[in-house]
Amino acid sequence: MAVFFLVSFYVFTPVIILHVCHRYRWVNKLGAVVIAYIIGLILGNAGVLNHIESSASVQDMMTTITIPLAIPLMLFSVDIKKWFSVAGTAMLSMVFALTGVLSMVFLGFFLFRGYGIVDIWKVSGMLIGVYTGGTPNLASIKLALNIDETIYIVTHTYDLLIGVVYLLFMLSIGQRFFLKFLPAYKHADPKSAANGDFDGEDPYWGIFKKKIFLPLLRALGLSVLIFAVAGVVSLLLPQSAQMAVVILLITTFGIAASLIPSINRTEKSFELGMYFILIFSIVVSSMADINRFIAASPSILLYVTLAVFGSLLIQVTLSRIFKVDADTLMITSTAFICSPPFVPVVAGALRNKEVIVSGLTVGIIGYAVGNYLGVMIALFLRGL
């Protein structure tokens, strides 16, 4: 019964969030995604989940389901032809993001060497992997370099802590902050900029009308099918590659489906995808345990902080020089620092669905190169 109530809380809390955002303008300015993260953090650290025996299994199941369903739904309404007009800028921004991560990991290696971090070269390799690809790369590099379990857990724990801070910044004041230094995003379709408010109840208004609801159910069914096919194919591959393959396949199939006019014109498919994003936001933030952060090594915390925010500073500096816009910087940085599943989360906060394909593309490239870079650089640093 407790598991049923937990699942119900995760699934239906976004309804309340959207209603409150619609009713109170100041709450809507904060953003539905930010509120979802705050609610999740409170739930995860209030001790409630300790009394639910299967809470971890429920969380794993829901994080596994929500993003793969959300990505195709959000891509169905994208005009892929317009993406090519910004593809070059996205790739340039990816190069800047990669430059930032590599620079800060190297700097951190020399700054913190001799300050209590055991096998710091291995930690450096993990940071390269996690901040170009994501957690799957972190786990892969752990196995490749035979990293001690304690070092892995401490590094992963601080990655989660700093990741929450980074995401809250991106989702709340990030866009306003970066617009002080960088140009605004130029929408390929001016109408998409005018209709980009994905918070509050208004975008969901009329969703249960027959002419909207039935086609939307078809879109949801197609998203489930895409997820199922991608999942089956990924099972044929090593576990370390499965997440990258799933993201790649659902992105590819989602883009292909968007080329079908009847799918592309389905009303509210993006909003339904955003609803799954809100569920994901509550679940993933409820998995953050503050007590574990307190017990971990402070030197690794400083190293992780430098890698995340130092790389962002370098990316901002290069973006200002080469006039990369704020939205593209944020979505490519998110794809690297947080991995592709968080791309739709930030795109929703930006109210800009045009950058989703760019972010997912950058993230998939990061998945592909993260393991190679992490292992090679770790072995290089070991010899210094």
Phi, psi of 214 (to 5 degrees): -65, -50
Poorest-pLDDT segment among 47-56, 101-110, 178-187: 47-56
Residue 40 identity = G
Mean pLDDT of 66-89: 77
Instruction: Summarize pLDDT for 205-226 with one digit per residue, the tens.
Output: 667 777 888 888 999 999 999 9
Is the confidence at residue 337, as pLDDT, over 60?
A: yes
Place of tokens 């690794």: 300
Q: How confident is the model at residue 198 (pLDDT cuts 50, 70, 90)?
A: very low
H helix intervals, 265-342: 269-285, 290-295, 298-305, 311-322, 326-337
Q: Which of 17-21, 119-123, 332-336 has the lowest mean pLDDT?
A: 17-21
Residue 201 reports pLDDT greater than 50: no
- Separation between Cα atoms, residue 149 and residue 88, nearest integer Å: 40
Tell me the CB-side half-sphere exposure of residue 342, using CA atoms within 13 A.
28
User: pLDDT tens-digit profile of 68-79?
Assistant: 888 888 788 777
The pLDDT of residue 297: 64
- The yes-or-no verdict on residue 152 having pLDDT over 50 is yes
3-class secondary-structure state, position 86: coil
Task: Please compute the mean of the pLDDT values over residues 161-183 and round it to a whole number.
Answer: 91
Q: Using 50, 70 and 90 to split pLDDT, how confident is the model at 191?
A: low
- Which DSSP category does 334 fall into? H
Q: Tens digit of pLDDT for each residue in 264-315?
A: 888 888 888 888 888 988 887 787 666 665 555 688 889 999 999 999 999 9
237 or 317: which leads in pLDDT:
317
- DSSP class of 184: P
